[in-house]
Structure 1
Amino acid sequence: MMVAKFGRQLEEGVLSFLLVTMTLLVFVEVVLRFGFNTGIHWAQEVTLHASAWFVLFGISYGVKVGAHIGVDAVVRLLNPEMKRLFSIASVLLCLLYCGLIMFGAWVYLAKVYSIGLAMEDTPTPSIFMALIPEDMMWDVFKIDEEEPLLPMWIAHGPLLIGFMLLTLRFLEVLKKLLTGEWNEMHMADEGKDALKEQGIDSNSVKLNDDVEANK
């Protein structure tokens, strides 16, 4: 229980950190450019990658909390058992997609690592540099000591990590569907959420519609 709670807090903390980092960098960059006619040369590159990391980590979190929107107009017409079967098929297709992306990401990162490509503007953080032994700087991490730019395999690493987390989430969903704990995938319901924001219970609305239909 404690491990699950820590994992949830860590995941939410990483997403919050990335969101705050993007916001602050964009704000500071705008102020510097329009107020002082200057800027931070690596800010744009870091912002773009931070937004990509946010999306890649946020996808798996969205599956976890049921925040993704799905097209379920047909699925809603099915009985509970058919809903479960269709949901299982959907999860299996999602896992296949994740597997293809992870394979492609692994091949891509391996090539980037072997070539030793680095970012154009983003420097390797000083704290990271201080922790790496000199003999491992290039041989292991592919960091050029003369121009210590952040290695691209590190910057693009979340492409693999994000889909690994997404695969884990889908496996958790698949387990719940196979064991009968869930009858369908949990998706966001914009209509229900909109009613909830207005203080209206969607169940009572459905009940009233049924009453009117019976009349």
Structure 2
Amino acid sequence: MQPAPGRSSVDRIEETLIGGILGVMTLITFSNVIARYILNANIFWALESTVLLFGWMVLLGASYAVKKSAHLGVDATIEMVGPTLRQVMALLAVAVCIAYAFLLLKGSWDYWANFANLPQTTGRWFPTGFEESFRPQAWYEVNDIPNPPFLKFLEDAMNDGDEYEKLPRFVPYAVLPFSMALLLFRFLQAAIAIWRGARDRMVASHEVEDELAEVRERRGEG
């Protein structure tokens, strides 16, 4: 068995970010439980914060799992065919994933754009350009999360100087186009790897077996 490749700095950044989001979610939820049942109080923005953070974690984690071939997959069929047909099937699968990720990117941009005072794309399925006129909606706020002081500069930049009482909605929603663009990029990387023969499938759902084999090798049991 080949030794596991070392993690890159990008891997560490992504893992730290995803792990940090999970840690913040845990801290907020724990603090709210203490506030409710011991202090008879309530952190009114806790629920909305954890919901948004969970969305960030899932969306960023999806692209990271594509990068690491960690999504679950069924390989009963591809194990029955030869290497050439297996590569063809993998290329077809990744082509569908690329098309789907592209549609998700368009949809997520169109949903987020007006919240950020930006135009949506034109075209039903594929972008044919950008809207020439649109209604800026950067004044929309989330329901409960207060706008932190370090984001006060957004009031002049995005809201004509009017105060944001709550966090402007385009800030947490920015993860939508960003994560979909990252997901599309990861699928393109997978397609290149499959085309070059570095991979023969889209996903590899055998992490446990790989980890056990690595442990056995370290113990000299392989």
Q: TM-score range by the shorter chain?
A: 0.7 to 0.9
**Equivalent residue, structure 2, for 1:120:** 143
Using the size of structure 2 for normalisation, the TM-score is 0.78
**Equivalent residue, structure 2, for 1:72:** 75
CA distance in 2, matches of 1:180, 1:197: 23
Name the SS for the 2:167 alignment partner: strand
Q: 1:135 aligned to 2:152? A: no
- Identity among equivalent positions (%) equals 32
CA distance in 1, matches of 2:191, 2:104: 19
CA distance in 2, matches of 1:134, 1:80: 57
**Equivalent residue, structure 1, for 2:100:** 97
| Counterpart contact for 2:108–2:180, Cα < 8 Å | no
- Look up the equivalent residue of 1:31 and give its one-letter code: I
User: Could you say which structure has the larger radius of gyration?
Assistant: 1
- Look up the equivalent residue of 2:72 and give its one-letter code: I
**Equivalent residue, structure 2, for 1:8:** 11
Q: What does 1:48-59 align with in structure 2 at a 5 Å threshold?
A: 48-59=51-62
Aligned match for 2:20, one of 6, 17, 25: 17
Question: 1:11 Cα deviation (Å)?
Answer: 1.1
Q: What is the CA deviation profile of residues 29-61 of structure 1, one whole-angstrom value per residue up to 9, with x for unaligned ones? A: 111111111111111101000000000000011
**Equivalent residue, structure 2, for 1:154:** 171
More displaced, 174-183 or 41-50? Answer: 174-183
| Counterpart contact for 2:70–2:207, Cα < 8 Å | no
Question: 1:193 Cα deviation (Å)?
Answer: 5.8
CA RMSD between the two structures: 2.6
Aligned match for 1:187, one of 204, 218, 221: 204
CA distance in 2, matches of 1:198, 1:181: 24
Q: How many residue pairs are counted as aligned between the two chains?
A: 193
Question: 1:185 Cα deviation (Å)?
Answer: 2.5
Name the SS for the 1:185 alignment partner: coil
Q: What is the CA deviation profile of residues 93-143 of structure 1, one whole-angstrom value per residue up to 9, with x for unaligned ones? A: 0011111111111111123342231101112222222xx27632514xxx8
Name the SS for the 2:41 alignment partner: coil
CA distance in 2, matches of 1:125, 1:41: 15
Q: What is the CA deviation profile of residues 77-102 of structure 1, one whole-angstrom value per residue up to 9, with x for unaligned ones? A: 11111111101111110011111111
Cα distance change of structure 1 residues 53 and 36 upon mapping to structure 2, 3 Å threshold:
same
List gaps (5 residues or longer) in structure 1: 205-215
**Equivalent residue, structure 1, for 2:120:** none
Using the size of structure 1 for normalisation, the TM-score is 0.80
Name the SS for the 1:36 alignment partner: coil
Question: 1:197 Cα deviation (Å)?
Answer: 9.9
